[in-house]
């Protein structure tokens, strides 16, 4: 999935998950060739505590919000989009039990220079499952 952001604007990455027993949701930069993080940007736990990277390139530009419900919805925001933000990002839904497998999804952010580059994006369903996690979807919104 690809989403186009505009230089200087913001983009919301929203994942909606149905079923399952999610304990934490993490979002960051995807490691090339691996289903893992190169750099974790935001982590939000079921108890609503969150951790944001200390990297000065991102620390004041990223945030995450989740009310802790499962099924639920989590939104990660990247503000003041820069050319260097054009890359592949990954989201990890972490299960409560060590015996369950986490669910991953990724999205490519493209950076455009004009406001006319904003695109409306369709709903994207997760094909991945863990326990009773029936489906997941990925919604994006561009904030001007």
3-state secondary structure 48-107: CCEEECCCCCCCCCEEEEECCCCCEEEEEEECCCCHHHCEEEEEEEEECCCCCCCEEEEE
Tell me how far apart the alpha carbons of residues 134 and 57 are, in angstroms, rounded to a whole number.
Answer: 36
Task: Return the pLDDT at 106.
Answer: 93
Tell me how far apart the alpha carbons of residues 10 and 53 are, in angstroms, rounded to a whole number.
Answer: 18
Within 8 A by CB and 6+ apart from 20, the residues are 70, 71, 93, 95, 103, 130, 131, 132, 133, 134
Residue 106: how many CB atoms within 10 A of its CB? 13
**Of 18 and 86, the one with more pLDDT:** 86
Mean of all residue pLDDT scores within the chain: 80
pLDDT tens digit sequence for 90-139: 999 999 888 888 999 999 999 998 543 333 333 333 333 232 222 334 44
pLDDT tens digit sequence for 31-79: 998 888 999 999 999 888 889 999 999 999 999 999 888 888 999 999 9
Task: Return the pLDDT at 28.
Answer: 96
For residue 94, what are its two tokens? 């972490």
- Domain containing residue 77: CATH number: 2.60.40.10
Residue 88 has pLDDT above 90, yes or no: yes
Task: Return the pLDDT at 141.
Answer: 44
List 93's β-bridge partners, or say none.
Answer: 25, 103
Task: Return the pLDDT at 20.
Answer: 74
> Considering its fold, how many domains does the chain have in total?
1
Task: Return the pLDDT at 114.
Answer: 59
The whole domain housing 11 covers 2-143
């Amino acid at each position: 999935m690809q989403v186009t952001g505009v230089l200087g604007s913001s983009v919301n990455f929203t994942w909606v998950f149905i079923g399952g027993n999610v304990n934490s949701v993490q979002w960051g930069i995807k490691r090339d060739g691996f289903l893992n993080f190169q750099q974790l940007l935001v982590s939000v736990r079921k108890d609503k505590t969150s951790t944001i990277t200390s990297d000065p390139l991102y620390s004041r530009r990223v945030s995450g919000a989740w009310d802790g419900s499962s099924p639920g919805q989590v939104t990660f925001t990247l503000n003041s989009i820069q050319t260097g933000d054009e890359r592949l990002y990954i989201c990890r839904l972490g299960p409560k039990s060590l015996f369950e497998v986490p669910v991953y999804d990724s999205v490519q952010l493209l950076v455009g220079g004009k406001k006319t580059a904003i695109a409306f994006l369709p709903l994207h369903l997760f094909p991945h499952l863990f326990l009773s996690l029936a489906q997941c979807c990925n919604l994006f919104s561009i904030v001007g």
